[in-house]
Amino acid sequence: MSEIKAADKFLEVYSEKIKREGAENLLKWLKSSDFLKAPASTRFHLSREGGLAEHSLNVYRRLVKLCAAEPYQFSEETLAICGLLHDVCKADFYRTDYRNSKDESGKWVKVPYYAIDDQLPYGHGEKSVYIISGFMRLSREESMAIRWHMGGFDESVKGGSFSLNTAFQKFPLAVLVHAADLLATNLDERHLQA
């Protein structure tokens, strides 16, 4: 999917599914940030313009599929919020830098690459919840799912926190959003490196 198509599709799903109070202002903020043009990572998956919008859509689609096979009932709006917005923390998070590299003829040229330049160092999942909550109210389960979407890769878990286990036991949606993120990143996007 091209970056233009990904951004358009993101906007289409967002407008169709997310209707709660504050959603329009959050969308305005997303558009004013680099969210729709940002990469999904510096070099691991979808490290290209529009990669973050594309990844967010992939997670949304995976989440819809996963939930259809489970006995839990989540609204379409909840699935769209968790899928499309779990990585809002990556808005205004990357910047383009340049490094020297030799081209085919052996000449030194400047090559662009993405570097991290976090404008709001508030964590990862917790930062997404913080940003979204500044515009619209999240349910307890949505907050938990977005907060813990990194699963065992979360910084606090790596630092020894056991809260993830409790969150996963109490909130099935948190397990499903993490699983959707894993499937999108490692299956849908595995051949989509920059």
What does the binding site for Fe ion look like in residue numbers (CB under 5 A)?
87, 181
Q: In the bound complex, what is the minimum distance in angstroms from residue 71's beta carbon to Fe ion?
A: 25
Q: In the bound complex, what is the minimum distance in angstroms from residue 90's beta carbon to Fe ion?
A: 7
Question: What is the three-class DSSP state of 109?
Answer: strand
Nearer to Fe ion, 17 or 147 (CB): 147
Q: Do 115 and 39 contact (CB within 8 A), yes or no?
A: no
Q: In the bound complex, what is the minimum distance in angstroms from residue 86's beta carbon to Fe ion?
A: 6
Nearer to Fe ion, 17 or 124 (CB): 124
Nearer to Fe ion, 101 or 186 (CB): 186
Nearer to Fe ion, 87 or 141 (CB): 87
Strands in the chain per DSSP E: 94-102, 108-116
Question: What is the three-class DSSP state of 10?
Answer: helix
Q: In the bound complex, what is the minimum distance in angstroms from residue 99's beta carbon to Fe ion?
A: 26
Long-range contacts (CB closer than 8 Å, 24 or more residues apart) made by 51-54? 51/3, 51/6, 51/192, 52/87, 52/90, 52/91, 53/3, 53/6, 53/7, 53/9, 53/10, 54/1, 54/3, 54/6, 54/189
